[in-house]
């Protein structure tokens, strides 16, 4: 089974702090994604990566950056956390090649910025 | 841009009954994929069922089935013989070729014993 893990289930940070959210997948997937989940808004794509050291902006990249130095690991960085970044963050991965591209999700990190 | 709409923020059903969750989407493409994902409370999101747009036959997975109406751009999920373990957030998602998914707003399903 594909396993996607995230470094923390719950995280509390202060405004202005630099925050790192880590995601690791163990199935050699090419593609990795970061979403934020908010009530009534569903999942919105922040950034995704098709390969090591590659990244592309999603729908809501402002205030975020990412890093993918190794194929299995995809990090989301909040350079200066703000209260409006309080949310649930979900990581996902999917294999490349032919569709359909079923995405496999991590358990999520609930981030609170105070 | 493609959009996915789930118009029912919350639904409830009695245990053992049948419930249908609605989803509509907007696209100008003819070849795409649709998914229903389930997110149980405090647990990981998992795939429930998927449908290829080029297939006319509706997908089924045990107690879960879809009603795919391509012309109407509608993709509803039917859960038969509802069980307590079906309680979750359900998300409809659209995928057209590229690896990205576009998600709907979600429907919270409650199962009443």
Cβ A71 vs Cβ A52: under 8 Å = yes
| Token output for B112 | 């009443």
On the question of pLDDT at B19 being above 90, the answer is yes
Report the 10 Å Cβ neighbour count for A84. 8
What is the C-alpha end-to-end distance of chain A, expressed in Å?
37
Element (H, E) at A100: none
A50:B99 CB<8 A:
yes
Q: What is the mean pLDDT of residues B48-65?
A: 94
Among A33, A96, A105, beta carbon nearest to B44:
A105
User: What is the pLDDT at residue A2?
Assistant: 64
Chain B CA closest to residue A57: B100
On the question of pLDDT at B97 being above 70, the answer is no
| Token output for B79 | 């859960």
Min Cα–Cα distance to chain B from A66, Å: 17
Min Cα–Cα distance to chain A from B5, Å: 10
Cβ B6 vs Cβ B22: under 8 Å = yes
Q: Does B9 touch chain A (CB under 8 A)?
A: yes
Of the residues B2, B6, B31, B45, the best mutation for testing chain A's interface (the one with the most A CB atoms within 10 Å of its CB) is B45
A48:B100 CB<8 A:
yes
Among B44, B50, B91, beta carbon nearest to A102:
B50
Please name which of A85, A109, A108, A65 lies closest in space to residue A16, comparing C-alpha atoms.
A85
Beta-carbon contacts of B58 under 8 Å, excluding residues fewer than 6 positions away, are B51, B65, B66, B67, B68
Q: Is the previous residue joined to A100 through a cis bond, with omega within 30 degrees of 0?
A: yes
Percent of chain A with pLDDT over 90: 83
The SS3 call for residue A90 is strand
Tell me what the pLDDT averaged over chain A comes to: 93
Q: Is the dihedral of CA B103, A50, A28, B33 positive or negative?
A: positive
List, in sequence order, every residue forming a beta bridge with B102; answer none if it has no partner: B94
B positions 31-70 inside 8 Å of A (CB): 33, 35, 37, 43-47, 50, 52
Please name which of B65, B73, B74, B71 lies closest in space to residue B18, comparing C-alpha atoms.
B65
Beta-carbon contacts of B93 under 8 Å, excluding residues fewer than 6 positions away, are B4, B34, B35, B36, B37, B101, B102, B103, B104
pLDDT band at A95 (very low <50, low <70, confident <90, very high): confident
Using a CB-CB cut-off of 8 Å, the residues of chain B touching A58 are 100
On the question of pLDDT at B6 being above 90, the answer is yes
On the question of pLDDT at B99 being above 80, the answer is no
pLDDT band at A101 (very low <50, low <70, confident <90, very high): confident
Tell me what the pLDDT averaged over chain B comes to: 94
User: What is the pLDDT at residue B42?
Assistant: 82
Q: Does B25 touch chain A (CB under 8 A)?
A: no
B positions 66-95 inside 8 Å of A (CB): 91, 95
The SS3 call for residue A78 is strand
On the question of pLDDT at B72 being above 80, the answer is yes
CA separation for the pair A59, A68 (Å, rounded): 19
């Amino acid at each position: 089974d594909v396993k996607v893990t995230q470094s923390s289930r719950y995280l509390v940070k202060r405004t202005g702090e630099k925050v790192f959210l880590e995601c690791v997948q163990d199935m050699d997937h090419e593609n990795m994604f970061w979403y934020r989940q908010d009530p009534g808004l569903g999942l919105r794509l922040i950034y995704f990566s098709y390969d090591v050291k590659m990244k592309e902006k999603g729908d809501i990249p402002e205030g975020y950056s990412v890093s993918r130095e190794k194929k299995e690991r995809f990090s989301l960085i909040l350079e200066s956390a703000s209260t409006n970044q309080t949310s649930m963050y979900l990581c996902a991965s999917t294999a490349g090649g032919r569709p359909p591209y079923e995405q496999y999700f991590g358990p999520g990190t609930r981030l609170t910025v105070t | 841009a493609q959009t996915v709409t789930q118009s029912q923020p919350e639904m409830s059903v009695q245990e053992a009954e049948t419930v249908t969750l609605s989803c509509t989407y907007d696209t100008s493409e003819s070849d795409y994929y649709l998914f229903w994902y389930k997110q149980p409370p405090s647990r990981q999101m998992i795939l429930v069922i998927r449908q290829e747009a080029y297939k006319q036959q509706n997908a089924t997975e045990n107690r879960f089935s879809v009603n795919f109406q391509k012309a109407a751009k509608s993709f509803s999920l039917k859960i038969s013989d509802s069980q307590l373990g079906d309680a979750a957030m359900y998300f409809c998602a659209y995928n057209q070729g590229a690896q990205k998914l576009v998600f709907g707003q979600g429907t919270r399903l409650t199962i009443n014993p």
